[in-house]
Amino acid sequence: MFGKVRSTRGQNQDYLGMVFDFSTGTTLKISMNMMIEEILNETEIGSITVLTPANDNLYKIDVTSPTLSEEEKAHFYSTVAKLYYVAKRIRPDILLPVSFRATNPAVSNLSKSVRIRRYLNGSRDLVLQLKGDSLQYLCLYLCNFWSS
- Residue 107 placed within a domain: yes
- Residue 99 placed within a domain: yes
pLDDT at residue 85 in the model: 92
CA angle 15, 7, 23 (to 5 degrees): 60
pLDDT at residue 147 in the model: 44
Count of beta carbons in the 10 Å neighbourhood of residue 73 = 13
- Residue 41 placed within a domain: yes
Indicate whether this model's pTM tops 0.85.
no
Residue 90 sits in which domain range?
35-124
Interstrand relation of 27-31 and 128-131 (parallel, antiparallel or unpaired):
antiparallel
- What are the distances in angstroms from CA 112 to CA 60, 106, 117? 11, 11, 9
- Residue 43 placed within a domain: yes
pLDDT at residue 105 in the model: 81
- Residue 18 placed within a domain: no
pLDDT in tens, the chain (148 residues): 677 877 778 888 888 889 999 888 788 899 999 999 999 888 777 787 888 777 777 777 778 888 889 998 888 888 889 999 999 999 999 998 888 876 678 887 777 788 888 899 999 889 999 887 765 665 555 555 544 4
- Residue 14 placed within a domain: no
Domain count, the chain: 1
- Residue 17 placed within a domain: no
pLDDT at residue 7 in the model: 77
